[in-house]
Structure 1
Amino acid sequence: MARGKLIFIIGGARSGKSSFAEKIAAKISKEVAYIAAAQPLDEEMAHRIKKHQEDRLDTWETYEEPIKIRELVSRLGVEKEVILIDCLTLLTSNLLLRKKERVEDFKWQEKILSEIEKLAEVSFKAPAQVIIVSNEVGMGLVPENPLGRVYRDILGRANSIIADKADEIFMMISGIPLKIKG
């Protein structure tokens, strides 16, 4: 079975990443497996999740999964034409904070990055077209607290892992996609 294409969409907060990813997915197929990593931990996040859910097409299947995204891609990659993962930013955060007391433990950080490498490999090899959305967090100020710095560093490395495998990369700037690979 031939492999699909891995498309990576990255940009700053509220830059139009998810909307652009959804447009690409809709052009490829009416039926999309939408993997959402967000967790409604507060009222504001619950509102964001609800808004995203309302924006999705009725023919799309949504899978709310904060951690085991690799396993879902592995299974759905042979069943579906398109998989949209929104987003690597939240998956990385969810993995990091699963054992918050170990945040600054380098072995724990490497374990997280190993999981991202496995996700990249499964996504790259999948017969489905896989679209991964993520935030670019390395272009701003250095976070003032250790957790923020560790998170920024891990997400930067996670983004690089996905970018290395991606067939196409789009950088979103103020709602405008800039193709930087492929």
Structure 2
Amino acid sequence: MSRGKLIFITGGARSGKSSFAEKIAAKTSKKVVYIATGKPLDEEMAFRIKKHREKRLNTWKTYEEPIKVRELVSRLGFEKEVILIDCLTLLTSNLLLRKEDEVEDSSWQEEILVEIKKLAEISYKVPAQVIIVSNEVGMGLVPDNPLGRVYRDILGRANSIIANKADEVFVMVSGIPLKIKG
């Protein structure tokens, strides 16, 4: 069984990452699995999740999984044609905040990155095409608190792990996809 393609799409907030990922997925197959990692922790996030649900094609199977994404890819990557993970940004945040009191512990940070490496490996190996969306958060202001700085650094490293493993990498700038790898 041959492996699929791993596509990574990154960019700033509201830059069109999800829409672009959805277009790639829809062009590739009608059998798309959408793994949504967001958790409705407040009213604004609940509204965003609702909007994302409404615009997704109803032929797509959606899994709302904030933590065990690798396990889903491992299982579904041999059954489905396309898996879209939206997004690595929230997955990383969810992993980080599972042990909020240990956020500044470097061994906990490394555990998170090991999980991201495992996700990259399985996403690269499965026969399905896997599309991973993430935010590029390291190009803006330096966060004014330790948690924000730790998160920015971990997500930057997580993005690098996925990008290095990916067959294709796109950066979204003002709604325009720029292919930088593949």
Instruction: Give the corresponding residue for 2:54.
Output: 54
Structure 1: how far apart are the matches of 2:123 and 2:115? 12
Structure 1 residue 71: deviation in Å? 0.1
Instruction: Give the corresponding residue for 2:74.
Output: 74
Structure 1 residue 31: deviation in Å? 1.4
- CA deviation string 1:125-149 (max 9, x = no partner): 0100000000001111111100000
Q: Quick one: percent identity of the two aligned structures?
A: 83
Structure 1: how far apart are the matches of 2:78 and 2:107? 33
Instruction: Give the corresponding residue for 2:131.
Output: 131
Q: Which runs of 5+ in 1 are unaligned?
A: none
- CA deviation string 1:102-158 (max 9, x = no partner): 000000000000000000000000100000000001111111100000000000000
Tell me the secondary structure at the aligned position of residue 117 of structure 1: helix
Aligned letter for 2:64? E
Tell me the secondary structure at the aligned position of residue 111 of structure 2: helix
Instruction: Give the corresponding residue for 1:117.
Output: 117
Tell me the secondary structure at the aligned position of residue 30 of structure 1: coil
TM-score (norm 1): 0.99
Spell out structure 1 runs of 4+ moving beyond 2 A. none
TM-score (norm 2): 0.99
Aligned letter for 1:33? V
- CA deviation string 1:10-50 (max 9, x = no partner): 00000000000000000000110000000011111010000
Tell me the secondary structure at the aligned position of residue 161 of structure 1: helix
Structure 2: how far apart are the matches of 1:181 and 1:27? 20
Structure 2: how far apart are the matches of 1:19 and 1:77? 22
Q: Which runs of 5+ in 2 are unaligned?
A: none
Instruction: Give the corresponding residue for 1:161.
Output: 161
Structure 2: how far apart are the matches of 1:162 and 1:88? 9
